Amino acid sequence: MGINTDVFSGFSKADGINAAVRVMSPRFIICDEIGAADDIAAIESAFGCGVRIAASVHGGSAEDIFRRKNIRRLVDMGVFEYSAFIKSGSVEKIINIGEYYEKHRLDIDNNNVCNDRGSNG
């Protein structure tokens, strides 16, 4: 983190993202463990305001992550360009999400899309 980094605490992720967009005019927002419906809505709103997003999503594989309804919405919107897969603290691989998703879309679409853990709907 650099000198021009602001850290929000004491907020839910969604409230922190929304507050940051309103009062800080950020170029980037970084957050951990997204997945709940209100997290996704706040990220969609921030992205719509031109804010770039870096976020972590925990899962067993890319397919596992892309099958989650809320995460798929963000992928379909183009919120994320790249995904880094981390195992035991080391970067295992980095993929271009759009290319990967298009290549594997049929495999992913042929399986059930699941609701996200912690989602409200």
pLDDT for 38-88, tens place per residue? 999 999 999 999 999 999 998 888 888 888 889 988 988 999 999 898 888
User: If you ran DSSP here, which 8-state letter would residue 49 be given?
Assistant: T
Model confidence band, residue 109 (pLDDT cutoffs 50, 70, 90): low
As a whole number of angstroms, the distance between CA 3 and CA 106 comes to 44
> Mean of the pLDDT values across residues 10-20?
96
pLDDT of residue 15: 97
pLDDT cut 70: percent of the chain above it: 87
The CA distances from residue 11 to 8, 20, 51, 58, 77, in Å, are: 7, 11, 19, 21, 25
CB 100 within 8 A of CB 75: no
Mean pLDDT (the chain, rounded): 85
As a whole number of angstroms, the distance between CA 90 and CA 40 comes to 26
pLDDT cut 90: percent of the chain above it: 47
> Tokens 């409230």, residue?
15
Tell me the domain boundaries of the chain: 13-110
Question: Counting runs of H as helices and runs of E as strands, what totals does the chain give?
Answer: 5, 4
pLDDT of residue 112: 54
pLDDT of residue 64: 85
How many other C-beta atoms are found inside a 10 Å radius of the C-beta of residue 9?
5
Q: Where are the beta strands (DSSP E) in 28-111?
A: 28-31, 52-55, 82-87, 90-96
pLDDT of residue 66: 81
